[in-house]
Each structure stands twice: as structure tokens, then as C-alpha cells.
Amino acid sequence: VVARVLPHLPRPLVSRGSGEGERTRGAERASPSSSASRPTRVAVGISGGVDSAVAAWLLKSAGFDVTGVLMRNWDEAEETGGVCEFEKDQRDARAVAAALEIELKEVDFVREYWHAVFEPFLRDFERGNATPNPDLACNRHIKFGALLRHCEEALGADVLATGHYARVAATANDEDDENPSLLRGVDESKDQSYFLASVRGESLRRACFPLGGLTKKQVKALAAGPARLPKAVTARRSSAGICFVGRKQNFGDFIAEYGDAERGDAETSFSSPGAFVSVDDGRVIGTHGGLARYTIGQRARVGGAPKAWYVVGKDASVGDNVAYVAPGSEHEALFFREAAV
């Protein structure tokens, strides 16, 4: 089974010298025994889910020296009620490591996540100029930033692998100073290259995505078959949504709570009611329950309106709390001729 899967397994885009731990920037495709001194060391981000577990199994089966790493990015002591999601992740990740007979390291990036991901997310959301996606920032600053550095410096890893459905490939010239290309996963319904789009090229040089050449159906078959993963892992539902919100909360309530705390003594808050204002003529056509519940392009709940209205702008300045809306999904205010990348 492994022999049939190995053609889909990307080789880490690193090369190593003869000295222990020595690395170069070349894009030579490393093999499990690319050094005479030891096999290539791969740190695998283990979440407790089936995708990261199968990624680790594939790499170990291919002969790599694999160590699992579980991150904690959110302090759930901040929340009230509900079940601690990290404790379940931790339990499942440990079960995966035991089943695969690999070591599992646990690392805390709560502080780094708060400053590099969550605070900028709140600021962008408050300004109303964009629809922020914290997963992009997490991959750039935490997974392939803080975690990658930790794995290299503390664990002596050559490569960081994750269970993303994406691929990396060397450039056509394969020059030492050129970064690899980020490609879509072959499973179009599960492709996650978008969420990796902001990761620095130099980090992608030390990244590996074993599932990029597989479909979700194939991954599930491997998990339940030759990988022999615990049932608690194979039966686990795929994660969806924003990690720090959790399953117990409504997003609008969550963002209102933290947004209000950040705004302090402001006269209006993320959760303060405000007006829906027509972008065409400035008329007030309804009220909303707080800007935290809306983002650009979202359908606005305007009672009694004969047609659908959509949010095209937000004004969170003190004293306003206005959500500007436009009638119809084809209104010109919903389209732009330029984008900030």
C-alpha cells in the first residue's frame, strides 16, 4: 500500500551537507537517507485529526525520522462554560503518536498567537475595510514562523510537515536563491493552498505537504486501513471555522465581546445597535444588532424589505456604528477594480 502512495509523497525541498545539522538553501529533493549521518528529521504538526495523523504515518512509512508536535495557540481559560477543545486535541494527538510509535512534543504559542494573529484580526475587523482571515496569519506567523523556528532550533528538524491539502514544487531553474512554487492540492474539494498563500517562500522551502497528491477519500482509507489509527481519530469530524471561536459560541457574540474589551470606554461598541444606511441615497432602512455580526458582502437582515440588501461598508467610529448596505447582489458597490495583496 505504501509503495502505491509514495509517488504522491513530496520530498522536502532541502539539501544538507556532510556535517550534523548543516543545511543549505538548495532545492535538492531530500530522501529519507539524504545524509550519511542520519535520516532526514521531519517535525509533523499533529492536531489530533485524521489528516495530520496520515501525513505523519506516510512520512514514517517512507523512512523519515518523524517527531509529532502539538501546538496550543489559544488560552481557553479566557472562555466560560463548554468543554475545553484543546484537551480533546491533546488526547487524540497523544493517541496518534502512540499508535504510530513516534515522540510527541507539545509547545505553547498562546502569547505569539495573540499578538501576531488575534490582535491584528480585531483591528482589521473594527476598521471594516476588509474581511480578515486569521488562518492565513496563523500559517504565516505561527505554523511556518514560530513553530518552524522551534522545530529547527529545539528539535533539530530539517523540515516541517502538516496535513494541508497543498503541494510545493521547485522552480524551473531550481536555483539556490529561488523559492519553490505553492501549488493546489489534487483534491479540488479540499485544496488548502489559499490558506498558505501568505507563507514566506523561505519557509515553504522547508515545508512538506504529504497529502497534496491525495484525495480526502484516499486519506480516510489509509487512516482506517494500513495506518491503523485509533477509531477516535478516524471518526473525528474535520475541523471547520475559526479555531479560537470554538463550537460553543456564536461568532458575532464572540467578536463583540473581545472587540468591546479592546475599545475600552468608547461610546459605541462592536455589540451596540446601529443603523442600516442605503449607500445610494443615505436613507436609514433598518437597524442592526452590532457591527460585529456583519462583514463586507454579507446579506443584511432588513425586515420587510422587498429585495435582499448586502453590506458594502461599515463605520465603527465613535457615535456612528453604521452599516452601509446596497440593494441586490449585483450592485456596483459590491465590486472593486483593485485589491490590496
Active site residue 243: yes
Q: Say if pTM beats, i.e. exceeds, 0.85.
A: no
pLDDT, one tens digit per residue, over 294-311 is: 888 999 988 877 889 999
Ordered by where they begin, the domains of the chain are 2-234 (3.40.50.620), 268-334 (2.30.30.280)
CB 158 within 8 A of CB 42: yes
**pLDDT score recorded for residue 41:** 93
Query: Low-confidence residues of the chain, pLDDT below 50?
Result: 12-30, 80-82, 267
Question: Active site residue: 84, 138, 151, 208, which one?
Answer: 138
B/e letters for 7-46, b = 16+ CB within 10 Å, e = fewer, are ebbbbbbbbbeeeeeeeeebbbebebebbeeebbbbbbbb
**pLDDT score recorded for residue 27:** 29
**pLDDT score recorded for residue 327:** 95
**pLDDT score recorded for residue 70:** 97
Question: Nearest-CA neighbor of 321 among 253, 249, 256, 261?
Answer: 256
Question: Active site residue: 84, 151, 208, 243, which one?
Answer: 243
Active site residue 84: no
